[in-house]
Amino acid sequence: MSLPTQFTGVTVHTKANVYFDGRVVSHTVLMPDSAKKTLGLIYPGSYHFGTGAPERMEIVAGACRVTLDGQAATRDYPAGSFFDVPGKSGFTIEVKSGLCEYICSFL
């Protein structure tokens, strides 16, 4: 899978989405077809997020470990990989060191 390096013709919200005292920060991007994405950074730590709509998390740089709600298995995701999260669910994401950069697409 090849991750995009840029988005063309988009609208970006300048106000950041800030979670966990600034340990997770993203910006909302509205695509020309009205699809919504967020681009973000995750600092080291462990964080739980709930989902409304289904999401795809693509890891642009760094790495993370993820446990989907309701599952015992934990998986590692390096740069260039992705995972999907069902709607009305959630996941715990852990970054051991460095930064994890991601694109979140709302499916």
Structural domain range at position 54: 11-106
Structure tokens at 18: 């800030």
Does a structural domain hold residue 5?
A: no
Residue 4, number of CB atoms within 10 A of its CB: 10
Amino acid at 22: G
Give the separation between CA 86 and CA 52, rounded to whole angstroms.
8
Question: What DSSP element (H or E) covers 92?
Answer: strand 90-95
Q: What is the pLDDT of residue 3?
A: 87
| Alpha-helix runs per DSSP H in the chain | none
| Domain membership flag for residue 90 | yes
Give tens-digit pLDDT for 32-64.
999 999 999 999 999 999 999 999 999 999 999
CATH code, 68: 2.60.120.10
The pLDDT confidence band at residue 1, using thresholds 50, 70 and 90, is: low
What's the structural domain count of the chain? 1
Q: What is the pTM of this model?
A: 0.94
